[in-house]
Amino acid sequence: MLAVEADVVIIGGGAAGLMCAIEAGRRGRRTLVVEHAEQVGKKVLISGGGRCNFTNLHAVPEVYLSENPRFAISALTRYTSADFIGMVERHGIAYHEKKLGQLFCDGASKQIVDMLLSECAEAGVEVRVATAVESVAREDGAFRLAMAGGEVECGSLVVATGGLSVPKMGATGFAYDVARKFGVRVTETRPGLVPFTFRKPALDFHAGLAGVSADASVTCNGVTWRESLLFTHRGLSGPSILQVSSHWHEGNDVIIDLAPDIEDLAGHLAGERVRQPNADLAWVVGSLAPRRLAQALCGAMGARRMQSLSNRELADFAPRLKRWTVRPDGTEGYRTAEVTVGGIDTRDLSSQTMEARGVPGLYFVGEAVDVTGPLGGYNFQWAWASGYCAGQAV
């Protein structure tokens, strides 16, 4: 006996899954969302410190990372941040721009989840929580899902179960398993938007500065972000580090500019030598970076008075701040990663509908797909956009 017959079943009640359900329901499709957790939108609820950084004003395709960078163009231009903002405003949810185009709720993240559930209800979508899918099969052009309470059959199946990041929230490789079952390729995955870790002796330096934060311009593999970095007991974190971590591979160097507003640091220090001849080098550098960090980078040289330092010595010292180069030993992994880089190979998906090529009726959306945005609301915008496009097609 079939427990339910539906036109569309969406596995995963996160951002992408709920958006897809809303659009499918609006089109009159009998739509069922099944979520294995006890509530939908768990990542939405914890995002942005509980205020949900729900989109970014600068969420254009060019800033997304993928083995096929052009794949995201269709979805992100068809459903933009302005479209989602329109939904937020229709529901009377107050929001603000924190910085760099990042939009947050004035209140709690729950407002966004409640909005999505309200839209689902209006569209006639059925949502089941605490419902794990045990297996997926395809027979005679239809999909059959086995789960607690019986089986469900549908013509269109959307996999919106996310990636591997934050396993304590219930993240699994379910989407990748389904993809492989039906012959859809999966690219190499790795943690993204994640802190770097180091081993001794480098770790001793970083751990000794734990808690120190500094403005920095950080570069890895040709990608540069300027925001704060944070020293931790395990290594380096903070927005600028998280941003470049998505582009980092084992063995890569990370170049840190701790004086990003000064192009010619050696010349600047030479000028300070004239203005403050009796000041210690560490004191002068302490006006550019946090004092503890300045003392650590200057080392024994920091106790010398500026008037005792030659132009050559200042020129040799300047790269310690302008091109401080570190080589992480690894990252904190999926445990603390905000996203999964890589995933469902976009060569096997339609960029307009998210449907798997060669498997009619099978769709993948959201974080499970090999499209990753920067920190700051970009990945939610990909979830809304990819979910919207699939919802228009299922």
Whether residues 277 and 353 share a domain: the answer is no
Q: What is the pLDDT of residue 36?
A: 95
Among 331, 352, 370, give the residue marking a domain's end.
331
Does 310 lie in the same domain as 203?
yes
Sign of torsion, CA 40 42 46 48?
negative
Indicate whether 167 and 219 sit together in one domain: no
Please report, for the domain that includes residue 114, its CATH number. 3.50.50.60
Nearest Cα neighbor of 259 from 327, 320, 307 is: 320
Residues 150 and 214 in one domain: no
> Which tokens in the block code for residue 85?
């903002």
Tokens describing residue 334: 């999926």
Cis-peptide, bond into residue 290, ω within 30° of zero: no
d(CA 219, CA 39): 39
What are 210-237's pLDDT values in tens digits?
A: 999 999 999 999 999 999 999 999 999 9
Q: Are 104 and 48 in contact (CB under 8 A)?
A: yes
**pTM (whole model) above 0.85:** yes
If you compute the radius of gyration of the chain from its CA atoms, what whole number of angstroms results? 25
286 and 376 in one domain?
no
Residues 92 and 177 in one domain: yes
Beta carbons of 167 and 340 less than 8 angstroms apart: no
CA distance 350 to 389: 10
* Last residue in a domain, options 304, 331, 358: 331
- Shared domain for 99 and 207, answered yes or no, is no
Q: Which domain holds residue 119?
A: 2-190+337-391
Co-location of 159 and 250 in the same domain? no
CA distance 57 to 377: 9
- 151 and 57, same structural domain? yes
CATH no. for residue 204? Answer: 2.40.30.10
CA 308, CA 313: separation in Å to the nearest integer? 10
Per-residue confidence (pLDDT) for residue 4, from 0 to 100: 65
Q: 204 and 182: one domain?
A: no
Q: What is the pLDDT of residue 167?
A: 86
Please state, as a whole number, how many other Cβ atoms lie within 10 Å of the Cβ of residue 110: 14
DSSP string, 347-371: GGB-TTT-BBTTSTTEEE-GGGBS-
Asked if residue 178 and residue 214 are part of one domain, the reply reads: no
| Contact by Cβ (8 Å): 53, 98 | yes
Q: Are residues 31 and 130 in the same domain?
A: yes
126-128 and 31-34 strand pairing = parallel
Contact status, residue 203 vs residue 162, Cβ threshold 8 Å: no
- Cα 1 to its chain centre, rounded Å, is 41
Confidence at residue 3, expressed as pLDDT on a 0 to 100 scale: 55
How many domains does the chain contain in total?
A: 2
Q: Over the chain (394 residues), what is each successive 10-residue block's mean pLDDT? A: 77 98 98 96 94 97 96 98 98 97 98 98 97 95 91 97 90 96 98 98 96 98 96 98 98 97 97 97 96 94 95 96 97 96 98 97 98 98 98 98
